[in-house]
Structure formats: structure tokens, C-alpha cells
Amino acid sequence: METTGGIQASLSGRYAVALFDLARDGKTLDTVAASLAAIKTAIAESSDFKGLINSPVLSRDAAGKTIAAVASAISIDPLTTNFLGVLAQNRRLSQLPAVIRAYETLLSNHKGEARAEVTSAHPLTKTQLTALTKGLKARVGRDVAVEAKVDPAILGGLVVKIGSQMIDSSIRTRLNSLALAMKG
């Protein structure tokens, strides 16, 4: 398959490709993407859920039942729910964040988009995100799916990653460069 490339080289990538193929065949690519986005949010916001997926002591049955309950509570589609069950049975729930990233990459490639991970010190407004997306589209030459993250440690500015390319205009990096230049 043309969009899988190096993604299949990793364990999480193989799971993501399997989920992507099933979703494409069932014409539910965007539904699965929305479910995975909800799971990604749950992982980020719930230390209990994060602990669940990383717990080595839960039995396969307990992990399966718990993940099914979580999937039901956050309204995950049936294909993604079944997929989570497979991950639980295979003791691969810890791979879930990497599987989600790989799936997002596969979906972007399928849609002909580039993926950009943008880190800012403060949440970006819709207007700022729209302007940034336009600017990145002009630079890359195709549509760009922007994933915005917040990291107060960069102090200000942006860090943009598109594929293997990184544009770092953060204040933290500028201050570090200035300090290095002053040591001279």
C-alpha cells in the first residue's frame, strides 16, 4: 500500500495500518479518526486512563472489560471499540498513543495532506490557527492538518514540525542562542 511506507516497520504502525485498512474498507475513516481523537483527549486529561493503558498488572480480561466500559462512556464507534479490545487482549494498550499518531499520519497521507505539529506557549485562537494553516499550506504546497499543542516552557513564539522539518521560532530557543553567542 502506498501510504504505509515506513509506518509498518513499527509494532504500533502495523496496528495502525490494520485499523486504517478496516476503516477504509468500511468507509469509516473519519468516524474512526474522531473516536481516536476522543481517546487521545481522554489519555491527555485522565491520569487514571493513562495508568490503565500503561498498567502491566491488569489481566487481559480486566483490561478488555475496562477499555470496553471507557469506550462506551466516551461514545467510541464499534470498529474502534473492537480494535481497543484486540489491543487489550494482545497486551498492547501501551501502544495506543503511537497507534493514534500513525493512524493520523495514514489518514493525512490518504487525503493528500501534510501533518503539522504546532507548539505554542499559549492556546492559539481560531483566527491564528486559520492564518497559520494558510501560511503552512503556501509553504508546503498542499493542505495541512494542524495539531496544536501548548507548552508554556517555550515562553512564546512557535515550534512547527512538518514531517522531518522543524521551524523553531520560540523565545526559549532565541534566548539560548543569545546566551551561547554571549559566551563567545
Confidence of residue 59 (pLDDT cuts 50, 70, 90): confident
Is it true that domain 1-109 has CATH number 3.40.50.720? no
**Where in the chain are the domains?**
1-109, 113-182
Cβ neighbors of 114 (< 8 A, separation 6 or more) are 108, 136, 140, 142, 143, 144, 145, 162, 163
CA 96, CA 49: separation in Å to the nearest integer? 12
Does this chain's domain 1-109 share its CATH topology with 113-182? no
pLDDT at 1: 39
CATH of domain 113-182: 3.40.30
pLDDT at 5: 55
Highest mean pLDDT among 22-26, 42-46, 141-145, 148-152: 22-26
Burial of 97 (0-12, 13-18, 19+ CB in 10 A): middle
Q: What is the mean pLDDT of the chain?
A: 89
pLDDT tens string 87-134: 999 999 999 999 999 999 899 889 988 889 999 999 999 999 999 999
- Say which DSSP state 120 is in: E
pLDDT at 33: 95
CA count, 13 A, side-chain hemisphere, 132: 23
pTM as predicted: 0.76
CA 83, CA 85: separation in Å to the nearest integer? 5
pLDDT at 81: 94
CA 150, CA 164: separation in Å to the nearest integer? 20
Residue 4 has pLDDT above 80, yes or no: no
Mean pLDDT to the nearest integer, 157-172 = 89
Cα 184 → chain centroid: 40
Residue 158 has pLDDT above 80, yes or no: yes
CA 6, CA 169: separation in Å to the nearest integer? 29
CA count, 13 A, side-chain hemisphere, 162: 20
pLDDT tens string 8-17: 668 888 999 9
Mean pLDDT to the nearest integer, 15-43 = 94
3-state SS assignment for residue 115 = strand
Contact call for residues 133 and 144 (beta carbons, < 8 A): yes
